[in-house]
A = this chain, B = another copy of it.
Amino acid sequence: MGLFEVLNADSTTPARLGRLTTGHGAVETPVFMPVGTCGTVKGITPEQLQSTGASVMLANTYHLMLRPGVEVVERLGGLHAMSAWPGPILTDSGGYQVFSLNSLVRIDDEGVEFASHVDGSRVYLDAAAATGIQNRLGADIIMCFDQCTPFPAEPSLLETAVRRTLRWAEQCKQSHNRPEQMLFAIVQGGIDPDLRTRCASQLVEIGFDGYAIGGLSVGEGHQYMIDTVHHTTPLLPADRPRYLMGVGNPSDIIASVMAGIDMFDCVLPTRNGRNAYAFTADGPLRLRNSAHACDGGPIEADCDCYCCRTFSRGAIRHFFNVSEMLGPILLSLHNLRFYQRLMAAIRERLSAGRFAEWALGRLDEYLRLGM
């Protein structure tokens, strides 16, 4: 199961319009996937999430394996049933959390031992276990277990991480036992072009249903990130989806689509929404600001989301001011819709064959606006 078609390749950039078909429906690419860490996008019902135009949801294996645990998810009918998300789901492998949540106890070429952030208990994870857990969670797209590196990182650490990521990717492919799930590999190598080349080409040699670029958006900044994406995407097969993990701002997304990326995930729309930060085409709004107290207009005049159709900036500012849950809920909804409208605009331009000029203009504008 799992088919990717390029529907329209841009004539002047590596960008492309595509369609990824899964057992839970088709996904138009380039696509942005909201993050539902524990099986739910924070504060948002699946019904509301669909209303934002989201087609795929991401969930975190690390969090789900600790709570409620893979056995519980299975007994509740799998991740789709538990989450009540009818569309495709992607699970990450847990690698990123193990390496970023300061939980690492021991690592060697076989796997990692880490301390649970819930109760401190020791947990062991390796390629076979991460794959087995994802097989049992039942997402449509699952990810290879990889070693993530921080930025900056010593060359020796980057090299070791690439070596292990390749070894583990091979093991993941061998232990993967649910053919209806697509298995994606993850390219590591920091911002070192040679390591990225080596990692990408050896992963392609093993052969996967799709390829992700990991280890970016960890502090290297927009330009290093985009340079690395531009270097890496040509090394990946054109007929497989390309996924830039954990990215990012609207400017990061536009620049990465221009470099040939098809899939994105990021907590920014929901995390920023919970912190009273609204994305708009005219730049960010901070809704705790007293300037909005008596503003009867919506967050964005041309936005069709429930928040903008229903509530004034002044009302939303009030909800944040009195710590009402509705503030985070409404701005999460708006920001998720903002991202989906951005992706729809990208796809529309790609479909019409007039993408590059528009994208450059929007990229400049978003960089100028600091988003």
With A40-B326, A321-B67 given, is the CB distance from A84 to B310 under 8 Å? yes
Contact of A82 among B40, B44, B315, B330 (CB under 8 A): B315
Interface: A358 (CB within 8 A):
no
Q: Which stretch from A70-78, A205-213, A260-268, A359-367 is at the chain B interface?
A: A70-78
Residue of B with least CB distance to A77:
B296
Please report the C-alpha to C-alpha distance between residue A43 and residue B328 in the assembled complex, in whole angstroms: 9
Whole-angstrom distance from the CB of A363 to the nearest CB of chain B? 34
> Is residue A99 contacting chain B, with contact meaning CB distance below 8 A?
no
Instruction: Kindly report which residue of chain B lies nearest to residue A333, judged by CB atoms.
Output: B45
With A43-B325, A68-B293 in contact, do A319 and B38 touch (Cβ < 8 Å)? yes
Which residues of chain B have C-beta atoms less than 8 A from A321's C-beta? 67-68
Interface size on A, residues (CB 8 A): 40
- At the interface, yes or no: A286 with Cβ under 8 Å from chain B? no
Enumerate chain B residues within 8 angstroms of A330, measured Cβ to Cβ.
45
Beta-carbon contact of A324 and B294 below 8 Å = no
How many copies altogether? 2
B42 touches A322 (CB 8 A): no
A178 adjacent to chain B (CB < 8 Å): no
Q: Which residues of chain B are near A341, meaning CB under 8 Å?
A: none
Nearest Cβ on chain B to A227's Cβ, whole angstroms: 37
Q: Which residues from chain B contact A38 at a C-beta distance below 8 Å? A: 318-319, 322, 324
Instruction: Kindly state the separation between the CA atoms of A137 and B42 in the bound complex, as whole angstroms.
Output: 32
Q: A311 on the interface (CB 8 Å rule)? A: yes
Whole-angstrom CA separation of A63 from B323 in the bound complex: 12
The reply on A46 being an interface residue by CB < 8 A is: yes
Given known A-B contacts A38-B319, A46-B310, A293 and B72 have beta carbons under 8 A apart: yes
Expressed in whole angstroms, the Cα–Cα distance for A68 and B324 within the complex equals 12
A321 and B293 CA atoms in complex are apart in Å by 36
Contact with A68, one of B67, B314, B325, B328 (Cβ below 8 angstroms)? B314
Q: What residues of chain B lie closer than 8 Å to A312, measured between beta carbons?
A: 76-77, 81-82
Q: Chain B's nearest CB lies how many Å from the CB of A187?
A: 31
Q: Is A329 an interface residue (CB 8 A)?
A: yes
Cα(A67)–Cα(B319), bound, Å: 10
Beyond the given A44-B326, A63-B322, A325-B328, could you list 20 further A-B residue pairs with CB under 8 A, ordered by the A residue number?
A38-B318, A39-B315, A39-B319, A40-B319, A40-B324, A45-B306, A45-B326, A46-B310, A47-B310, A67-B321, A68-B293, A75-B314, A76-B314, A76-B315, A82-B312, A83-B315, A84-B310, A84-B311, A84-B315, A325-B325
Q: Can you name 21 A-B pairs with beta carbons within 8 Å? A: A38-B318, A38-B322, A39-B315, A40-B324, A42-B324, A45-B329, A67-B318, A67-B321, A68-B321, A72-B293, A72-B294, A72-B314, A72-B318, A75-B314, A76-B294, A76-B312, A77-B296, A81-B296, A81-B312, A82-B312, A325-B328
Binding site for B on A (CB under 8 A): 38-40, 42-47, 63, 67-68, 72, 75-77, 81-84, 293-294, 296, 306, 310-312, 314-315, 317-319, 321-322, 324-326, 328-330
